[in-house]
Amino acid sequence: MENQASSKGIILNNGLYLGLTGVIVGLILYATGQSFELQWVSNVVGFVATIVFVVLGMRAFKANNGGFMSWGQGVKIGMGIVMISAVITVVYTILFTQVIEPDFQAQAMEIQKQAWVDAGLTDEQIEQSMEMAEKFQGPGIAAAFILAISAFFGFIVSAITAAIMKKSEEEAY
């Protein structure tokens, strides 16, 4: 029970820092007018930051737990960090697309439409693609997508990191 209590603060702090890292990167790209051109930067920074904050969280837990951490404890900590960050990302995304820049999705759709034209799609194919894409643009769908992708990649990062960093009391002897 003591381990669970000590992991809550670690999960909340690292999840908050990870979420804020993503928000700051998104705002910097928006402020510089590079949101569409440099989306890959946001993805790379987000992935690297996820690894960093999951590792930091697991290290802090081990330090508070006499140097020990099971694989399950590590996965719990990593997933907690990632999901706190995902909730922050959902809130930011909804605020950004509904309040800060309500035309963002329309602008993104125009850029995608031009990419389809450049790829040689017919007008009919472009129209069908746009209709399909519009079905997936609502805030609910975006929130579900962010949470699902975060859970998937968060589990992979957490499972691998926990497997590397785990140390049981039996291993100490």
If one compares 133 and 49, the residue with the highest pLDDT of the two is 49
Measured in whole angstroms, how far is the alpha carbon of residue 26 from the centre of its chain?
12
Distance CA 30, CA 86 (A): 19
- What three-state secondary structure class fits 88? helix
Q: What is the mean pLDDT of residues 57-61?
A: 96
Q: What is the DSSP letter of 110?
A: H
Predicted model pTM? 0.85
Residue 160, pLDDT > 70, answer yes
Tell me how far CA of residue 62 lies from CA of 50, 53, 78, 80, 172, in angstroms: 18, 14, 13, 16, 13
pLDDT of residue 171: 59
Residue 3, pLDDT > 50, answer no
Give the tens place of pLDDT for each residue, 5-29: 479 999 999 999 999 999 999 999 9
pLDDT of residue 5: 44
Q: Percentage of the chain surpassing pLDDT 90?
A: 59
